[in-house]
């Protein structure tokens, strides 16, 4: 019995890559089938493509800002890393979010590739991806928390209060964590010193402590990265709002500030739920927060209309995101040979990796232009 369960678990793990896509597409299919009448009405509407074009520009520009944020974080540690390469890897990672589980799967691809470029300090350089993700989530929490101050009527609902509490708690915890990290005593704290003496992870912790010390010497880069994150999320959330407006929703969609307040919680759900790119998870969460906004507005539209509009607005935003991801595919195709060699070498044994390192193309060779400092 136990052996059969173990074999079944292995088969499930092996095929989970395509099973999660079946699950995500199944969820989307059920949602569109449920609201098929509203979808037929939507097709007959005159879509405002000007809003869709604006949403595309905002989405693409915001992704470019996140790439520049990561570029600053890597460059602040003294690595030679051009913005063009950050753009390329950033868009590749964004595309790979639709391959790996959840909405953060592309980070793994970025980590593999940049770690291959800096094998001696791969722990530090991979840690920049984690810091980049943390700063992004912190900025998302901050945008939602600040927007909540402009929506007192929405705050009357208990469900909305729970969402805002989560956003505020995340904001406070993130800011407190950054404050502690930037304190001079933190890299020399007893906890880090003790971890550095461990046999397996000791060297990794030591490299991380060195990276923290370098950030402490350049705090303006952390502040700049946080500011870029804030502006970038404003752009992404505004893109979502304009996707909804392009569908001429009337009273079935909340206003701009309500989007800034409620969509961050829905995006967080898409990151947590292990579906490719958050497909199905984001749409369901948006339908839920749209319904909450409608209740706070005295229910001027029917629940069915509101939920359907949430589904369609999220799907329009999904389409825009996929178009941006296809740009990432274009960046990938321009350097697929170099990128493939990097990934193959990453999987080779350490003995072979040392020899291959001298012949392997570096990230800085992926472009023909010379290096330019961001300063």
Q: Would you say residue 18 lies in a domain?
A: no
- Report yes or no: 363 and 85 within 8 Å, Cβ to Cβ: yes
How far is the C-alpha of 316 from the C-alpha of 301, rounded, in Å?
Answer: 20
Q: Would you say residue 32 lies in a domain?
A: no
Tokens representing residue 358 in the block: 């001298």
- Range of the structural domain that residue 250 is part of: 42-360
Q: Would you say residue 34 lies in a domain?
A: no
Q: What does each C-alpha distance from 360 to 87, 126, 325, 342, 364 come to in angstroms?
A: 21, 19, 27, 7, 11
Tokens representing residue 335 in the block: 């350097």
- Report yes or no: 52 and 244 within 8 Å, Cβ to Cβ: no
How far is the C-alpha of 300 from the C-alpha of 361, rounded, in Å?
Answer: 60
pLDDT tens, residue by residue, 238-274: 999 999 999 999 889 999 999 999 999 998 887 787 7
3-class secondary structure, 278: helix
- Report yes or no: 243 and 52 within 8 Å, Cβ to Cβ: yes
How far is the C-alpha of 146 from the C-alpha of 178, rounded, in Å?
Answer: 19
Q: Would you say residue 106 lies in a domain?
A: yes
User: What helix, strand, coil percent values describe the chain, rounded to 5?
Assistant: 80, 0, 20
Q: Would you say residue 10 lies in a domain?
A: no
Instruction: Please tell me the total count of domains within the chain.
Output: 1
10 Å CB burial of residue 27 (0-12, 13-18, 19+) is middle
Q: Would you say residue 282 lies in a domain?
A: yes
- Give residue 259's Cα distance to chain centre: 18
Q: Supply angle C-alpha 288, 275, 232, rounded to 5.
A: 70
Phi-psi sector, 109: left (phi>0), alpha (psi -120 to 50), beta: alpha
Looking at residue 360, its pLDDT comes to: 39
Place of tokens 């009448």: 37
Place of tokens 């946080």: 226
Q: Which of 121, 115, 126, 65 is nearest to 90 (CA)?
A: 65
- Those residues with Cβ within 8 angstroms of residue 3's Cβ, 6 or more apart along the chain or in another chain: none
**370 pLDDT above the threshold of 50:** no
Tokens representing residue 54 in the block: 């604006």
How far is the C-alpha of 232 from the C-alpha of 234, rounded, in Å?
Answer: 5
Report, as an integer, the average pLDDT of 120-149. Answer: 87
Report, as an integer, the average pLDDT of 59-77. Answer: 90
pLDDT tens, residue by residue, 266-300: 988 877 877 777 888 899 999 999 999 998 876 67
**Global confidence as pTM:** 0.79
- Average pLDDT, whole number, for the chain? 80
DSSP letters for 155-200: GGSHHHHHHHHHHHHHHHHHHHHHHHHTSTTSTTSHHHHHHHTSTT
pLDDT tens, residue by residue, 180-213: 888 888 888 887 788 778 776 677 677 778 788 8
Tokens representing residue 366 in the block: 């992926």
- Report yes or no: 144 and 258 within 8 Å, Cβ to Cβ: no
pLDDT tens, residue by residue, 6-44: 555 565 556 555 677 788 889 999 999 999 999 999 888
Q: Which of 285, 274, 272 is nearest to 317 (CA)?
A: 285
Place of tokens 């404003």: 234
3-class secondary structure, 53: helix
Q: Would you say residue 5 lies in a domain?
A: no
Q: Which of 365, 372, 360, 370 is nearest to 335 (CA)?
A: 365
- Report yes or no: 254 and 240 within 8 Å, Cβ to Cβ: no
3-class secondary structure, 289: helix
Q: Which of 271, 287, 277 is nearest to 320 (CA)?
A: 277
Q: Would you say residue 28 lies in a domain?
A: no
Report, as an integer, the average pLDDT of 70-98. Answer: 81
């Amino acid at each position: 019995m136990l052996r059969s369960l173990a074999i079944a678990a292995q088969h499930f793990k092996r095929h989970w890559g395509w099973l999660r896509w079946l699950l995500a597409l199944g969820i989307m299919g059920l949602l569109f089938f449920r609201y098929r009448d509203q979808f037929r009405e939507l097709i007959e509407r005159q879509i405002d493509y000007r809003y869709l074009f604006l949403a595309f520009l905002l989405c693409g520009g915001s992704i470019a800002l996140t790439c520049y944020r990561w570029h600053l974080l890597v460059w602040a540690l003294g690595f030679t890393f051009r913005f063009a390469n950050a753009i390329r890897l950033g868009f590749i990672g964004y595309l790979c979010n639709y391959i790996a589980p959840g909405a953060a799967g592309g980070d793994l691809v970025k980590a593999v590739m940049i770690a291959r470029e800096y094998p001696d300090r791969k722990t530090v350089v991979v840690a920049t991806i984690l810091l980049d993700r943390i700063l992004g989530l912190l900025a998302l929490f901050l945008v939602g928390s600040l927007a909540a101050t402009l929506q007192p009527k929405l705050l009357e609902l208990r469900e909305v209060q729970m969402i805002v509490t989560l956003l505020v708690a995340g904001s406070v915890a993130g800011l407190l964590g950054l404050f502690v990290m930037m304190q001079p005593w933190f890299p020399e704290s007893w906890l880090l010193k003790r971890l550095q003496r461990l046999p397996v992870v000791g060297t990794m912790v030591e490299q991380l402590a060195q990276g923290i010390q370098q950030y402490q010497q350049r705090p303006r880069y952390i502040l700049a990265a946080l500011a870029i994150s804030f502006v970038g999320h404003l752009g992404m959330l505004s893109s979502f709002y304009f996707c909804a407006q392009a569908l001429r929703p009337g009273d079935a969609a909340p206003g701009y500030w309500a989007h800034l307040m409620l969509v961050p919680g829905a995006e967080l759900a898409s990151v947590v739920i292990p579906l490719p790119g958050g497909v199905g998870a984001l749409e369901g969460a948006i339908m839920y927060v749209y319904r909450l906004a409608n209740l706070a507005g005295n229910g001027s539209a029917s629940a069915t209309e509101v939920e359907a509009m949430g589904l369609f607005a999220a799907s329009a935003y999904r389409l825009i995101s996929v178009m941006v991801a296809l740009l990432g595919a274009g960046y990938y195709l321009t350097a697929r040979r170099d990128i493939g060699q990097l990934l193959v070498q990453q999987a080779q044994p350490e003995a072979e990796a040392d020899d291959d390192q001298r012949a392997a193309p570096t990230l800085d060779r992926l472009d023909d232009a010379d290096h330019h400092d961001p300063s």
